[in-house]
Amino acid sequence: MASDGKRGPKSICVPCATDEHRLRNPLAPTRIDPVQVRINNTFNLWHGPVSRAPLRIAA
């Protein structure tokens, strides 16, 4: 029989307890930082499109 502890009447694993906590209290939405968006877009354009070819073919 499980004991009444910090996590309630049932003994559950830590990842399960974390999931239940997140379902009860979801994370707040993040703010979009226009400077970071500009940095990300510049970085992506500087390095060009990503090749779909696997690395073993390019070698």
Q: What is the DSSP string of 10-45?
A: S---HHHHHHHHHHHSPPPPPPP-HHHHHHHHHHHH
Task: Report if pTM > 0.75.
Answer: no
Residue 48 clears pLDDT 50, i.e. is over it: yes
Residue 33 clears pLDDT 90, i.e. is over it: yes
| Whole-number percent of the chain with pLDDT over 90 | 15
Distance CA 29, CA 31 (A): 7
In the chain, where are the structural domains located? 14-58
Average pLDDT for residues 21-33, to the nearest whole number? 88
